[in-house]
Amino acid sequence: MQTDSSFTFVLFGGTGDLSMRKILPALYEAHRAGGMLADSGKIVAVARHIEDRGEYLQWVNEHVKPHVSKNGLDETAWASFLARIEFAKIDLGNPDDFVLLRDAIKDLPGIRVFYLATGPSLFVPICHALASVGLNANSRIVLEKPLGYDLKSSNAINDAVGEIFAEEQIYRIDHYLGKEPVQNLLALRFGNVLFEPMWRREWVESIQITIAEELGVEARGDFYDNTGALRDMVQNHLLQLLSIVAMEPPHSMDSDSVRDEKLRVLRALKPIDPRDIGKVAVRGQYHSGVIRGTAVPAYATEAGVKPDSATETFVALKVEIENWRWAGVPFFLRTGKRLADRVAEIVVNFRAVPHSALGASALRAGANRLVIRLQPNETIRLYCLAKQPGEGMNLASVHLDLAFDQFFREGQMEAYQLLLLDVINGRLALFVRRDEQEAAWRWVEPILDEWKTSTKPPKPYASGTWGPAAASAMLAQHGTCWLEEEN
């Protein structure tokens, strides 16, 4: 893909964790691939505690290079990547410094992208400061999550940013939307005639969406303890995945057609009655345990976490969608830290055949299932029943696989790379529109409120397991179980 879209990519939070692990490595990969970034495109990193460009490049060499080396570093490409990087020492609290920024970038070509890889409390001050020096024109702004803490605070940020930038200039990142298999789900559903007729209540029994992590809160204890899994993962990533799975076919793939359909799903989520929360939501917190042979500590003893913390590190939910396509079909969502495995997947359980001429084994579980594995080993796998070789009609579960790395040996991109290219090229479809975000906050708020005041602490689970037993019991009530419990 050749591009001539020139750009000036201004990275606020230039020495932050996200810049180090995700944003700069993604820009490097796009640069290394060749043809994805216009030659004239520049990256302007903004930081306060670094004096000049030389010192910043040293920081990049020390901290970013190790993250890009995993695919084998191309030293020539690395050197030319560094040549794209400029630096601006800016104190975000000092509006005068933005005059310096404006002067530094005024002669640079192309669209301006302001990427706010900072805490959300800085979003509004940065936007005001940009506007005060006229930098909100001919520009795009990228907002990282968390965008607010609840509906009210998210609205406050969106109102303030919205006074300065038009909605078409605002790119709210949810990096799960940049994962290739998520977009492949759209291709699978809307590019093939096979699945769409069956993608509805008549043929689907239940759907599970899991994002499980082995990692704990790492160095983010302080942030996480004030956030919890519901805000960190459910309000955004899980509800976005749910809306992609459940949406109606859009009129086209243009950004508003896709986002309109996702919004319809979010607005159709059955509101949670606070009295039912115990039945449809499970919250847990990890205790000590063993992950892949290594002992790991309890959440409450992690740095930055209050010892009596009631913050959830695990959530499982039963969600319903009130529309004709999905009425009565339970969607089970689950996410947690320090679980038994790192896996993100969507499981569509189709109904059993209505009558089996092939005997009872044709009705058993393990077939009529589609599993979309987002990570690791991105695959779409369709489980079917087949006859076992030999005498008699004995059936066994077999699967048809679309393993992306076998079909497409080249061109796979990390989510951030894909999304950053979308920002530079002005493609909004994979970014969250304000109304989607509001609908998602509105839906999770009764749970947030209930848990805030509840006297019942989160249910404990040992690290290295699949979370509290209550999460399994919730599915058992619907005659089903989590995928790993079947194996």
CB of 177 to ligand BG6, least distance (A): 11
CB nearer to ligand BG6: give 111 or 209: 209
Ranked by CB distance to ligand BG6, the top (closest) residue is 232
**How many Cβ atoms from other residues are within 10 Å of residue 113's Cβ?**
23
Size of the site for ligand BG6 (CB under 6 A): 5
Write out the binding residues for ligand BG6, residues 390-429 only, by CB under 6 A. Answer: none
CB nearer to ligand BG6: give 216 or 330: 216
Token pair recorded at residue 424: 């530079």
CB nearer to ligand BG6: give 161 or 238: 238
**Candidate residues 232, 345, 422, 450; the one interacting with ligand BG6 per rule CB under 6 A:** 232
Burial code of 149-185, b = ≥16 C-beta within 10 A, e = fewer?
bbbeebbebbeebeebbeeebbbbbbbbbbbbbbbbb
Q: Is 273 annotated as a binding residue?
A: no
Write out the binding residues for ligand BG6, residues 156-215 only, by CB under 6 A. Answer: 175, 213
Q: Is 89 annotated as a binding residue?
A: no
Concerning whether 49 is annotated as a catalytic residue, the answer is no
* Residues 6 or more apart whose Cβ sits within 8 Å of residue 40: 6, 109, 110
Contact in structure between 1 and 54 (CB atoms under 8 Å): no
Q: Is 337 annotated as a binding residue?
A: yes
Q: Is 107 annotated as a binding residue?
A: no
CB of 244 to ligand BG6, least distance (A): 16
CB nearer to ligand BG6: give 55 or 213: 213
Active-site choice (31, 49, 63, 237): 237
CB of 337 to ligand BG6, least distance (A): 7
Contact in structure between 154 and 437 (CB atoms under 8 Å): yes
For residue 397, is it left (φ>0), alpha (ψ between -120 and 50) or beta? beta
Q: Which parts of 166-208 fold into alpha helices (H)? A: 180-191
Number of H helices, E strands in the chain: 19, 16
Contact in structure between 342 and 213 (CB atoms under 8 Å): yes
Q: Is 145 annotated as a binding residue?
A: yes
Token pair recorded at residue 485: 């419990």
Sign of the CA dihedral running 329, 380, 33, 416 = positive
The four Cα atoms 412, 416, 27, 46 give a dihedral, to 10 degrees, of -170
Contact in structure between 313 and 338 (CB atoms under 8 Å): yes
What 3-state class would DSSP assign to 269?
Answer: strand
How many whole angstroms separate alpha carbon 193 and alpha carbon 459? 44
For residue 13, is it left (φ>0), alpha (ψ between -120 and 50) or beta? left
Q: Is 364 annotated as a binding residue?
A: no
Indicate the burial class of 293 (C-beta count within 10 angstroms; 0-12, 13-18, 19 or more).
exposed
CB of 119 to ligand BG6, least distance (A): 13
Write out the binding residues for ligand BG6, residues 117-146 only, by CB under 6 A. Answer: 145
CB nearer to ligand BG6: give 178 or 330: 178
Q: Is 270 annotated as a binding residue?
A: no
Tell me if 378 contacts ligand BG6 by CB under 6 A.
no
CB of 232 to ligand BG6, least distance (A): 5
CB nearer to ligand BG6: give 213 or 341: 213
CB of 375 to ligand BG6, least distance (A): 6
**How many Cβ atoms from other residues are within 10 Å of residue 280's Cβ?**
18
CB of 378 to ligand BG6, least distance (A): 12
Token pair recorded at residue 49: 């505690």
Write out the binding residues for ligand BG6, residues 245-304 only, by CB under 6 A. Answer: none
CB of 117 to ligand BG6, least distance (A): 13
CB nearer to ligand BG6: give 216 or 250: 216
How many whole angstroms separate alpha carbon 371 and alpha carbon 84? 41
Write out the binding residues for ligand BG6, residues 434-473 only, by CB under 6 A. Answer: none
Q: Is 358 annotated as a binding residue?
A: no
Sign of the CA dihedral running 218, 223, 229, 231 = negative
How many whole angstroms separate alpha carbon 311 and alpha carbon 223? 11
Q: Is 318 annotated as a binding residue?
A: no
Angle formed at CA 255 by CA 411 and CA 382, multiple of 5 degrees: 55
Binding residues: 48, 91-92, 145, 175, 179, 213, 232, 337
Binding residues for substrate: 175, 179, 213, 232, 337
The residues that touch ligand BG6, with contacts defined as CB under 6 A, are: 145, 175, 213, 232, 344
Active site residues: 237
